[in-house]
């Protein structure tokens, strides 16, 4: 019996040891699991104290900043947030009130949202590279304005595609340059954005005034973003696409679409053009703002002039004109032979097709007629019988005067333009060529007008330059009977002389200051 009790006690002792061992093993696992969360919690707490939250943040003074994805503050940059456009300054604080972004004056609300943006025409940057005025760039594409090709207060846009070469090109090409106000150019992606706001629009600049365009240098068509624009800003969104904002009609708008807008011709067919002689020995066709007509062409019409031009606007040649048209009437010069000499007279053709002689005859030949609407007179190239050249002016009634400034001897004079009371001529003297401006008001009578005579009644020229009908001369120059200034030309010497009415001579008096 005692043996059995002893065996039972041994079994109980063994089971107790096993139980204790199993209990100890189970107790180890919770301790291990417990220590890991404690370590993770500590690390999370440290992370929360070193990395601020993303997005908008306010400091103790209520100033707003914006923390980007990389944890840095957005500084000197724009942010599109919902329907709002905000700007953050160099310290990373959101701007309120007024702020100038280059030539664009911005107005922000108290919550930092942009309310208006207007172009400032008086903006002048500091320390600007004058070779790249108004430079805007994005990666490989640069854009700026060419100040040497100014049109009023607008300039053509130039661009450089650094991915291709370092050469500059006109946006739109030489035949279709794109004009903008200075410092109103932006670049994003493969597009150049530009806005023209001329101070005093003319016939050309009024067509692009207030219109925001964009164009790709890769041969793209010009696109219109908005009209009536006072200022604009383009920013990159989070996905990299452009967001364009325009201020017009008193409110800020986000532009969502573009329309094709083929360029308007820079050189308006009804515009005013001039022959510019600023460069000695050369003549250029320019607009009224002295901008050269940058178009290589065989025929650029200006009034009744047709110019052949080089690509830089230099005039290479001017087409001749045998007739001049005025308000339905056509004027020409008829030249015949009289005693072996050339004799000319002015012939006018009316709307009904009938021709009539309206001037007395004069020795020499005349051609290349051009009508000047401003003075309501016709100008032509004249050569007398001695081979001397000059320029004549012809009234609508047939008075023919030669310009005093045009006495050039045997140097040939070619009419290249008429404007502002002056005739621009090319003078050819042997191998030498130069250009002159002749006053149209200083002239001497050459052939007075006559009462219109049907051309069909005059089969042969008169035998004398002195028209016996003195009353015609009276009407032509407006002098009283007996004091009419009669002009004649010696067929032998080619010199011009004067008499003062039939039977009333003043020998030796020079012919100057005749009827203008």
Concatenated DSSP letters of 484-501: -EEEEE-TTT--EEEEES
Report CA-CA distances (Å) from 307 to 38, 268, 304, 491.
Answer: 91, 15, 10, 35
pLDDT at position 85 is 95
Stronger pLDDT, 504 or 351, i.e. the higher one: 351
CB neighbours of residue 136 within 10 Å: 23
Q: Which two tokens stand for residue 148?
A: 């040497």
Strand-pairing partners, residue 101, are 104
Residue listed under structure tokens 């990299």? 240
* pLDDT at 12 > cutoff 60: yes
Strands 305-309 and 297-302: antiparallel
Supply angle C-alpha 502, 334, 463, rounded to 5. 40
Q: Kindly state the average pLDDT of the residues 308-321.
A: 90
Residue 336: burial class (beta carbons within 10 Å; 0-12, 13-18, 19+): middle
Report whether pLDDT(96) > 90. yes
Confidence check: pLDDT of 265 > 80: no
pLDDT digits (tens, 9 = 90+) for 28-42: 433 323 333 343 444
Share of the chain residues as helix, strand and coil, in percent rounded to the nearest 5: 15, 45, 45
pLDDT band at residue 52 under the 50/70/90 scheme: low
Tens of pLDDT, residue by residue over 166-225, are: 899 999 887 688 999 999 999 998 999 999 999 888 767 888 999 999 999 987 789 999
Pairing state between β 133-138 and 141-145: antiparallel
What tokens were used for 384? 């007398």
pLDDT value of residue 17: 53
Which structure tokens are listed for 86?
A: 């905000």
* Strands 273-276 and 284-287, sheet pairing: antiparallel
**What's the token pair of residue 59?**
């400091």
Q: Two tokens at 485?
A: 């200034």
pLDDT, position 139: 83
SS3 label, residue 240: coil
Instruction: Judge contact between 354 and 348, C-beta under 8 A.
Output: no
Look at phi and psi of residue 210 and say left if phi exceeds 0, alpha if psi is from -120 to 50, else beta: left
Query: Contact at 8 Å (CB) between 347 and 368?
Result: no
Whether residue 464 has pLDDT greater than 50:
no
Confidence bin at 241 (pLDDT 50/70/90):
confident
- Find the angle CA(207)-CA(210)-CA(215) to the nearest 5 degrees: 80
Tokens of 395: 């009234």
* Rounded distance between C-alpha atoms, residue 516 and residue 511, angstroms: 13
Which of 95 and 294 is assigned the larger pLDDT? 95
pLDDT-above-70 percentage for the chain: 77
pLDDT one-digit tens code per residue, 397-423:
999 998 999 876 789 999 999 999 999
- Write out the H or E segment, with its range, that includes residue 186: strand 185-188
Question: 295-300: long-range contacts (C-beta < 8 A, 24 or more apart)?
Answer: 295/174, 295/175, 295/267, 296/174, 300/267
Number of residues in the chain: 516
């Amino acid at each position: 019996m005692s043996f059995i009790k002893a065996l039972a006690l041994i079994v109980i002792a063994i089971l107790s040891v096993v139980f204790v061992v199993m209990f100890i093993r189970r107790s180890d696992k919770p301790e291990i699991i417990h220590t890991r969360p404690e370590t993770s919690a500590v690390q999370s707490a440290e992370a929360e104290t070193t990395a601020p939250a993303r997005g908008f943040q306010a400091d103790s003074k209520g100033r707003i900043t914006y923390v980007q994805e990389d944890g840095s503050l957005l500084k000197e940059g724009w942010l599109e947030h919902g329907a709002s456009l905000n700007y953050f300054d160099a310290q990373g604080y959101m701007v309120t009130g007024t702020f100038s972004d280059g030539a664009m004056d911005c107005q922000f609300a108290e919550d930092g949202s942009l309310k208006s943006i207007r172009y400032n025409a008086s903006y002048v940057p500091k320390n600007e590279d004058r070779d790249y005025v108004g430079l805007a760039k994005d990666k490989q594409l640069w854009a700026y304005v060419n100040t040497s090709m100014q049109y009023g207060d607008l300039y053509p846009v130039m661009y450089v595609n650094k991915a291709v070469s370092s050469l500059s090109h006109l946006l739109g090409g030489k035949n279709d340059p794109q004009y903008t106000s200075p410092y109103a150019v932006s670049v994003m992606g493969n597009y150049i954005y530009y806005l023209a706001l001329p101070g005093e629009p003319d016939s050309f600049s009024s067509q692009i005034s207030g219109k925001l365009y964009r164009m790709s240098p890769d041969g793209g068509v010009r696109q219109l973003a908005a009209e009536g624009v006072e200022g604009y800003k383009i920013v990159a969104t989070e996905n990299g696409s452009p967001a364009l904002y325009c201020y017009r009609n008193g409110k800020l708008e986000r532009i969502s679409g573009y329309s094709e807008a083929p360029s308007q011709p820079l050189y308006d067919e009804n515009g005013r053009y001039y022959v510019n002689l600023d460069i000695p020995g050369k003549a250029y066709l320019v607009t009224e703002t002295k901008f050269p007509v940058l178009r290589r062409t065989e025929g650029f019409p200006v009034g009744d002039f047709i110019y052949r031009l080089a690509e830089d606007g230099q005039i290479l040649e001017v087409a001749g004109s045998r007739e001049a048209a005025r308000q339905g009437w056509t004027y020409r010069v008829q030249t015949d032979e009289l005693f072996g000499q050339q004799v000319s007279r002015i012939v006018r053709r009316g709307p009904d097709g009938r021709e009539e002689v309206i001037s007395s005859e004069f020795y020499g030949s005349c051609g290349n007629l051009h009508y000047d609407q401003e003075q309501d007179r016709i100008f032509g190239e004249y050569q007398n019988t001695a081979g001397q050249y000059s320029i004549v002016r012809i009234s609508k009634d047939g008075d023919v005067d030669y310009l005093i400034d045009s006495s050039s001897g045997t140097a040939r004079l070619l009419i290249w333009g008429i404007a502002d009371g002056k005739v621009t001529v090319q003078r050819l003297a042997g191998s030498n060529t130069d250009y002159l401006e002749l006053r149209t008001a200083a002239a001497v009578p050459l052939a007075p007008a006559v009462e219109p005579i049907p051309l069909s009644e005059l089969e042969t020229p008169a035998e004398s330059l002195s028209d016996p009908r003195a009353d015609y001369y009276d009407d032509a120059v407006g002098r009283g009977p007996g004091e009419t200034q009669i002009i004649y030309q010696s067929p032998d010497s080619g010199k011009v002389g004067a008499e003062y009415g039939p039977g009333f001579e003043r020998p030796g008096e020079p012919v100057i200051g005749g009827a203008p």
